[in-house]
Structure 1
Amino acid sequence: MKDFYSDYKLIIFDLDGTLYEDTDHFDHYASLLKERVALEHQEDFIADYIAMKKGAHAVGIGKAYDAVHDSVLTLDPLTLKVTHVQNWDGSEWDQEKVRSTYKDDLTFDFENIIAVGDGWWLPYSSARHHGVSVEDTYQCYTRTKDFMVTDDFQLTKTPGLKEGLLKLKEEAEVVLVTNSEEDDVQRLLLELDLDEIFPEIVPLAQKPVQTKEIFQNLMKKYGASPGETISIGDNLINEIAPALLLGMKTIYIQPTGIELEHDNLKVVNGLEELFK
């Protein structure tokens, strides 16, 4: 990894989609959400979710969903400003309506304005569109997290990851920042055999709302400048864009690639690529 960036002091990792890349749990989450959708809309819910996974829907990774207006927002990946808006069916808003409706900076609150940064938020967005309450989505999420630590769910360990992380610890401070609850984090790390890797873990991080503040506090704590700090994650909105705005270096895990170039951005297929 030293080949990518030199002179780093602090490396900040995400958990879900970064330290493990399995996706079956998203489908399990969708199956639980389907039960909360009205019977007459369940087929539409699944059809929308499948279309999202195929990239054939207005909602997609890297966008945002406005549950109040039932609209899909395309964002500038570096400033997170709204550039285009679509209705659920994909029809476009005119730019005057876009500017008047989204003239202020977005506030991602996990209920009304949702950053669709990874696979968790695809079934969530479809469920909200089809009438599922925030409370019901959270219950389904916690049930999915419980499922992920049972014998029926097996996480795939990334080859060379543990060895690579241990080497990194000899050169820099490594910190885990995740939106997951502390108990879930510990169980997942134990499953991945990474439970003794991170001396500091920040759970319930509320990314992207708190990302910049958390990163700034960590840099201050460990005496690292933005140029000496790397954010590694699979979520453009949660971990990458805020870090770039702070002047940090970033490694974005995105198997499908991205049309974005930045001096402080490295795009990789997965962590295995870093530790070969």
Structure 2
Amino acid sequence: MYIFDLDGTLYEGTAHFDYYAALMKQELPAEWQKAFERDYEQMKRGEHAVKIGTAYDTEQDAVLELDPFTSRITAVKAWNGDELDASMYTNGPQEFDFEQIVAIGDGWWLPFACARHYGIRDCQPFYHETKRYMASEAFQLEKIEGLPVFLKQLSEAVPTVLVTNSDAEDTDRLLGELDMRGIFHKVVPSAGKPAAAASLFEELINEFEHMPQSVTSVGDNLMNDVAPALRLGMRGVFIGTSVKSGDRLEQAYTMSEWMEREKHRISRYAR
């Protein structure tokens, strides 16, 4: 069985993240806007304390470096990268939410962290405005050539499930634009990842009567899609950079790369 993420996984591009960031930058005083832009660009290049794979404490303005597979804190840093005392945080796996301890698992969360650091308390209106922009004619999804055909072939061989944090309406619209409606055996919108990821994956394993080691989670968010799967004994495919393949973990720079790699395996699977 395969479990797929939607946003950032089944289509490509980062223009919507930049649009989200620009909306919030414009809300700041003029003297802060250049600093916001500088920090955001450094984040995207992986040159800032806040980067994909970290977490951000919005109340303490602290950056938590994590072991991505155990969610344990390995270091705590200030916004400028200085080391901080980690004793205020748990020694066990760190719990994430969408407000205080935020997992920076993909490009949506970089503008969020930057905005919160510069004093914007509520990012939701800007997120919803970005989603409206993405639904307009002004925005074009970067489709992945051949992916709908590949997913249909895969779904004819094994169960496939879509698990996404997007709501039902947005999910249906995106699947329509991507020519992927009706492909997946099950679609789970408003999934609440990463907090609910492990329980959702366990439910799907039981529902489809698969052993964890025969289930693969594919996504561009290390903490949402991959780390919870690995902790359950599943396989994970991370679409992105800065992660090395290992036991039960596969990394691909793009979905197209992984798709080409996976095509020859499809005939081996049986429902």
TM range (shorter): over 0.9
Which string of whole-angstrom CA distances, capped at 9 and with x for unpartnered residues, describes residues 148-174 of structure 1?
Answer: 111111112111101110111111111
- Out of 170, 173, 176, the position equivalent to 2:162 is 176
Mapped to 1, the partners of 2:108 and 2:3 lie a distance apart of 21
Aligned partner of residue 157 in structure 2, secondary structure: coil
Mapped to 1, the partners of 2:245 and 2:19 lie a distance apart of 34
Equivalent residues of 2:155, 2:185 under 8 A apart: no
1:218 aligns with 2:207: no
Which string of whole-angstrom CA distances, capped at 9 and with x for unpartnered residues, describes residues 10-37 of structure 1?
Answer: 1100001100111100010011111332
Mapped to 2, the partners of 1:257 and 1:53 lie a distance apart of 13
Deviation at 1:275, TM superposition (A): 2.9
- Out of 15, 21, 45, the position equivalent to 1:24 is 15
Which string of whole-angstrom CA distances, capped at 9 and with x for unpartnered residues, describes residues 192-235 of structure 1?
Answer: 11122123111111111000000000110010110111100011
Which string of whole-angstrom CA distances, capped at 9 and with x for unpartnered residues, describes residues 214-270 of structure 1?
Answer: 00001100101101111000111111111000000111101x342x44310111122
The 5-angstrom pairing of residues 30-179 of structure 1 reads 30-93=21-84, 97-134=85-122, 137-179=123-165
Mapped to 1, the partners of 2:36 and 2:121 lie a distance apart of 14
Provide TM-score, normalisation by structure 2.
0.92
Question: Residue in 1 aligned with 2:255?
Answer: 271
Aligned partner of residue 256 in structure 2, secondary structure: helix
Aligned partner of residue 21 in structure 1, secondary structure: coil
- Out of 141, 162, 178, the position equivalent to 1:192 is 178
5+ unaligned residues in a row in structure 2: which ranges? 261-271
Structure number with higher relative contact order (C-alpha < 8 Å, ≥ 6 residues apart): 1
**RMSD (Å), alpha carbons:** 1.3
Aligned partner of residue 69 in structure 1, secondary structure: coil
Mapped to 2, the partners of 1:270 and 1:182 lie a distance apart of 26
Aligned partner of residue 36 in structure 1, secondary structure: coil
Deviation at 1:104, TM superposition (A): 4.9
Aligned length: 260
Identical-pair percentage: 45
Deviation at 1:103, TM superposition (A): 3.4
Mapped to 2, the partners of 1:77 and 1:275 lie a distance apart of 24
Aligned partner of residue 170 in structure 1, secondary structure: helix
